[in-house]
Amino acid sequence: MSIKSVASENQIRLARYAKAMGHPVRMYVLDLISKQSCCYSGDLSEELPIAKSTLSQHLKELKAAGLIQGEIEAPKIKYCLNKENWKEAQQLFKSFLGL
Amino acid sequence: MSIKSVASENQIRLARYAKAMGHPVRMYVLDLISKQSCCYSGDLSEELPIAKSTLSQHLKELKAAGLIQGEIEAPKIKYCLNKENWKEAQQLFKSFLGL
DNA sequence: TCCTTTGTTCGCAAATCTACGAACAGGATG
DNA sequence: CATCCTGTTCGTAGATTTGCGAACAAAGGA
C-alpha cells in the first residue's frame, strides 16, 4: 500500500508543486518569471552561476511540474508561467496555508 | 560563486520551506496538523503505510525546516505547527504567489 | 525490577538529485 | 554551404533522499 492511497489528490499535487519549488535556482526563476511575466533562458544563464546544461535541467523540471512553459522565439526560447497550473497552485497553497 | 550569492534571502527561505513540503507524507502531516492544530505521531504511524522509522525521519525534517515542533506528553509526543515560522511561510508564499 | 509502549538512531540499499563538460540538434546568418 | 548562436541531451560523478528493519533509549505501569 502506498502513501498515494492515503494522501488526498490535493496533497499530492501540492507536494509536486512544492518539490519543484524546492531549490534556490528554481525558486529564483519562478520568482523572476512571475514578476515580469516571462524571461529568456539566455538571460538567466548570464545571471546564474551555473552551467547552462544545469539550468536547462532545472527549467525542464519546472516544465515537467507544469509551472512554466517555453515558447520558441528563434533563436531564443521565451519562458512564461503556465497560467492554468499557476492558478491551481495559487489555489492549493492558499487553501493549504489558510490564506 | 554560489547560487546563494544571487538568489534573495526570501527566495532561499521559500525554497527551504517548499522542499520540506515536497513529499506526500510530509504534506499529509502538515495538512493534518494545520487543520487540527496538533497530532500524535503514533496516530500518524497507524494511518500511514510506512515504517515508523521512516515517519520519524520525515517529522525530523519538518522540524529541521522549522515548520513543526514536538512537545513531550509522556509517553507520546505531540506535534504542533511552529507558529512563528508558519507565519513567515504564509507571508513568503503569499507574497511569492501574488495573493 | 521487569516489561511495555513510544519514538529515535543506526546501518544499509536503492533511487533520485545536482552539477559539470562534451557532444549534439536546429535555426539564423554570412 | 559553412558557421555561429541557442539550448538540449548524454554520460558521469558525487551527494542527498527515501525507505526498511534491527537495535537502542526513556519513561510509565505491573
Q: Domain ranges for chain B, please list them.
A: 3-93
Whether B48 and chain A come into contact, CB under 8 Å, resolves to yes
Mean predicted lDDT score pLDDT of chain A:
96
Query: What does the pLDDT read at residue A37?
Result: 87
Q: pLDDT above 70 covers what percent of chain A?
A: 100
**Interatomic distance B77 CA / D30 C1' (Å):** 23
Mind listing the pLDDT tens digit for each residue in A27-53? Answer: 999 999 999 989 999 999 999 999 999
Q: What are phi and psi of A70, to 5 degrees?
A: -105, 145
In chain A, whose CA is at the least distance from the CA of B88?
Answer: A97
Find, among B35, B66, B97, B18, the residue nearest to A26 by Cα. Answer: B18
Query: What does the pLDDT read at residue B67?
Result: 98
**Interatomic distance B77 CA / D27 C1' (Å):** 12
What is the CATH code of the structural domain delimited by A3-93?
Answer: 1.10.10.10
> pLDDT tier at B74 (50, 70, 90 boundaries)?
confident
Shortest CA to C1' contact from A19: nucleotide:
C17
Does residue A56 surpass a pLDDT of 80?
Answer: yes
Mind listing the pLDDT tens digit for each residue in A62-80? Answer: 999 999 999 998 889 999 9
Query: What does the pLDDT read at residue B37?
Result: 87
Whether B50 and chain A come into contact, CB under 8 Å, resolves to yes
Q: What are phi and psi of A50, to 5 degrees?
A: -135, 160
Euclidean distance between CA atoms A72 and A64, whole angstroms: 17
Q: Which of B8, B27, B96 sits opposite A7 (nearest CB)?
A: B27
Shortest CA to C1' contact from B49: nucleotide:
D19
